[in-house]
Amino acid sequence: MRSGFVAVAGRPNVGKSTLVNALTGGKVAIVSDKPQTTRRRVTGIVNGDDYQLVLADLPGFQRPRDALTERMQRTVDQSLEDVEAVLLVLSARERIGAGDRFIAERVFGLRVPVVIAVNKVDRLKPGHIAEQMQNAARLGEFHSLHPVSALTGDGVGELRDDLVALLPEGPAYYPTEQRTDLAPEHQIAELVREKALQLTREEVPHAISVEVDELGEKVVRATIFVETDSQKQIVIGRGGSVVKQIGTRARPEIELLLGRHVFLELNVKTRPRWRRDEAMLERLGI
C-alpha cells in the first residue's frame, strides 16, 4: 500500500480545483470562471486498490490585500509543508510568466518532487502546447511534466499514475469511501457559493460568502453574505429572481450529497467588511 499527501499549487483560475475533481472522479471542490474561487484547503481523496493519494486543493497564490486574502495565502504556505510532492498547475491558455515563476521559486525550494500539469490544452494547437511545455520546463527541476485537460480528462490518468508512483509505503489515512474532509455543512455552503459566483460579476463574487444555519432532515437553511446593500440587491435580483436561480442550481447537488430531498431556504444579508472580520472568517472556516 502506498499513501501520502500532495499539495496542488498555482495561480488563481488555472484549473486547480477542476483538476482535483477530475483526479478524484467526483466533485469535491467548487469551480468558477472567477479568480479566488477556492478560499480554504479542500482535501480530495483518490483511492486505488493499492494506494491512497490525498490531494490538497488550495487557493491560488496571491498578494494579500485584507484579512481574507491573508488567511488564504497563509493556508497555501502552511499546506506546502509536510507533503510528499507538489502538483504545480499552469494554464496553457495564458502566458507562463512572472506570476508562475514566483510560485515556482517557492515550490521548487521545498525539496520535494514537483510534478507540473500544463492544464487547459483542449482545443489548443499542438505547436502552441509544445511551446507552453517548453516554457513550463524552464521553471525548475521538475520530476515530470504533463499536458492535461481537466475539463475533458485528457492526460489525467497518466498524471494520477505519476503522482501515485511518488508516494511512499503507508496506510490509508481516510476510509476508502471518503472523497473529501469537508463537513457536509461546509460542502453545502460551498455549493451555494459556487452558484452565486456563476450568477454574479465584477466585484460581487469576491464579496460573497455563505454559511449554513440549519442542516435538518427536510430543510437546509443558509445565508448568503455580501458587503453592501447594492450587492444584496444584485444577489437577490428583480423579484428575487437571482437568489431563486442560485437555489434552483444548488438544490440538486445538495440532494445528491445528502442522499435525500430537502427544501433549501436562502437568505441574503449585508455584513459590511466581513472580509476584514477575523471572527467571521474563523466561523466560515477560512
Q: Residues 141 to 200: which contact ligand GTP by CB under 6 A?
A: 149-151
C-alpha cell at 81: 509543508
Q: Which does 15 bind (CB under 5 to 8 A by kind): Mg ion, ligand GTP, none?
A: ligand GTP
Rounded least distance, CB 247 to ligand GTP, Å: 21
Q: Would you count residue 60 as binding ligand GTP (CB under 6 A)?
A: yes
On whether the CB atoms of residues 231 and 270 are closer than 8 A, the answer is yes
Binding mask 31-50 vs ligand GTP (x if CB under 6 A, - otherwise)? xxx-xxxx------------
Rounded least distance, CB 17 to ligand GTP, Å: 3
Q: Which does 36 bind (CB under 5 to 8 A by kind): ligand GTP, Mg ion, none?
A: ligand GTP
On whether the CB atoms of residues 237 and 244 are closer than 8 A, the answer is yes
Q: Which is nearer to ligand GTP, 146 or 232 (CB)?
A: 146
Candidates 17-25, 133-141, 169-177, 183-191 — which segment interacts with Mg ion by CB under 5 A?
Answer: 17-25
Q: Which is nearer to Mg ion, 16 or 206 (CB)?
A: 16
- Whole-angstrom CA distances from 224 to 57, 232, 266 are 23, 9, 7
Rounded least distance, CB 66 to ligand GTP, Å: 16
- Write out the DSSP string of 187-254: HHHHHHHHHHHHT--TTTGGG-EEEEEEE-SSEEEEEEEESSHHHHHHHH-GGGHHHHHHHHHHHHHH
Q: Would you count residue 17 as binding Mg ion (CB under 5 A)?
A: yes
Q: Would you count residue 149 as binding Mg ion (CB under 5 A)?
A: no
Kindly give the residue spans of alpha helices, DSSP state H, lying in 80-227: 98-108, 126-137, 156-165, 184-198
Q: Which does 35 bind (CB under 5 to 8 A by kind): ligand GTP, Mg ion, none?
A: ligand GTP
Question: Which position among 3, 24, 32, 38 is part of the footprint of Mg ion (CB under 5 A)?
Answer: 38
∠ CA 196-255-271 to the nearest 5 degrees? 30
On whether the CB atoms of residues 85 and 117 are closer than 8 A, the answer is no
Q: Would you count residue 18 as binding ligand GTP (CB under 6 A)?
A: yes
Rounded least distance, CB 107 to Mg ion, Å: 17
Give the residue from 5, 67, 6 showing the smallest Cα distance to 39: 67
Question: Which position among 4, 6, 7, 15 is part of the footprint of ligand GTP (CB under 6 A)?
Answer: 15
C-alpha cell at 181: 474532509
Assign residue 81 a region (left: φ > 0; alpha: ψ between -120 and 50; beta: otherwise): beta
- Sequence-distant (6+) residues with CB within 8 A of 107 are 9, 80, 86, 88, 114, 140
**Contact footprint for ligand GTP (CB under 6 A):** 10, 12-18, 31-33, 35-38, 59-60, 119-120, 122, 149-151
**Contact footprint for Mg ion (CB under 5 A):** 16-17, 37-38
